[in-house]
Every structure is written in structure tokens, then in C-alpha cells.
Amino acid sequence: MPYSLHVAHLYGDLMNTYGDIGNILVLNYYAKKINVTLTSEVISLDQTFDPTNFDLALFGGGQDYEQVIVSKDIQSKKAALTSFIEDNGPVLAICGGYQLLGQYYIGANGQRIEGISALPHYTKSQDHNRFIGDIDIKNEETGEVYVGFENHNGVTYLGAGERPLGKVLTGHGNNGQDQTEGAIYKNTFCSYFHGPILARNHNLAKRILLLALKRKYPQADFSQAEATLAQID
């Protein structure tokens, strides 16, 4: 039986400042290794997000200017995206995408940029400071260490029901205070890691890919696919 996954690249024409499209390329690389066809589609301004049409969603980062534009448009997609998330649809949200899935983001100029409150976190800004540099975190559930590069003015605080993607080993993370980085809620994964994150953290890429496959094909046996992926860097 041929397997396929359809990816929604949310605002991929606007929120791709740090090459987050690379995350789709990485997923496609691993999908091919297990004979899965992966296709992607940009869902942007004035377009409808149909949660029944996608198996996975990616939401990249952008500058405050783009975030203001996206913030206004994404309100029309709020119900559909929230439904997808609550139904365990896998989502990878980076930086600005991470912030917009939450309650709000206070931009560098003090402007409040509304999120969709699909997740309970919120983000404030720092005065004349950014968190920039290499970062290492450890996922305390899997024991996996993720490495990356952070560059953000925002400081994010997680809410009820969220757990961090990892505990900060080196670097700043969500806010430089509580040693958390990113967020996990159901099958939604958020992070400030650019680079893109999946290019340097293959275990996370494989995890997200398998989550999408098992959700779409709940009766299928993916043990061989898991074994194959485990042998591939």
C-alpha cells in the first residue's frame, strides 16, 4: 500500500526568514527512505486552512513586520488550526510561528501582536537585548539532546498543559530564566531553533514523520519503517 503525507506550510512565503523551509526538505528526505510520498502546499494570506486536507503543518519564523500581517490573517484560520492541533495533528512551529500559536506577542516596539491562543503560552519582548547563539537542550522524556541556534528578542512563558521541548543545557531558551526551550502540546512541537531545527536533529524529524504516518494510517504496521529510519543518519 502506498503511503503519502500532505504538508501545510503556513505562510511559507512570509514566515521563512531563517530558511525554515529546510524542515520540509528534511522530512521529505526521510519520507523517501521509507517509500512515503510527501507533498507540501503553502497556505498564506486569504487562503483557507482545511484541517481534513493536511497530515502535518509547519509554521516558520519571521520579523515583526511580517508577524503583524500574519497575525491579522491567521485569526480567520484560528478555529481550523486549533481543531487540527486538538485532534493530534502534528505541527512544527518555529520562532514567530511558535509565538503566533500562543496568546500574544509584544513586539520590540511595544505593539501587541495577537496570536490564536491554540496554545496557552505568551511572549513579551526584551529591552535592547536578544538571545543569540548556539544552544543545547535535553528532552527529559526521551533523553535526546537537541542542538541549534537561537536568535530572538521575544521571551516566552509556557502555560498549563504545555511542557518544554527540552531543558536548557547551554544557551538561553524560552526566556533565559526557567531553563525551558520550546513547547510540546499533544503532537505540536514549538522551538526557537533556526538553522533549520530538523537538519541538525534527525531524531526529532523522524519522530514527527512517524507521528503523522501513524495518525493518518492507524491500522498500518510501521515497525519496518521505524527500523529503517533508525539506521539512517
Q: What is the pLDDT of residue 1?
A: 62
Write the pLDDT tens digit of every residue in 159-168: 999 999 999 9
Contact between 67 and 17 (Cβ < 8 Å) = no
pLDDT at position 65: 83
| pTM recorded for the entire structure | 0.95
Q: Inter-axis angle of helices 202-216 and 223-230, to 10 degrees? A: 170
Q: Which fold has domain 4-231?
A: Rossmann fold (3.40.50)
11's grid cell? 505562510
Q: How many CB atoms lie within 10 A of CB 138?
A: 17
CA distance 126 to 130: 7
200 annotated ligand-binding residue = no
User: How much is the pLDDT for 18?
Assistant: 78
Between the alpha carbon of residue 87 and those of residues 6, 84, 90, 167, 229, the distances in Å are 16, 5, 9, 26, 26
| Active site residues per annotation | 95, 194
H helix intervals, the chain:
22-33, 64-74, 78-86, 96-101, 197-200, 202-216, 223-230
Residue 134: exposure state from Cβ atoms within 10 A (0-12, 13-18, ≥19): exposed
Take residue 115 and report the three cell numbers written for it. 496570536
Low-confidence ranges of the chain (pLDDT < 50): none
- Residue spans of the domains in the chain: they are 4-231
The rounded distance, in Å, linking the Cα atoms of 86 and 226 is 25
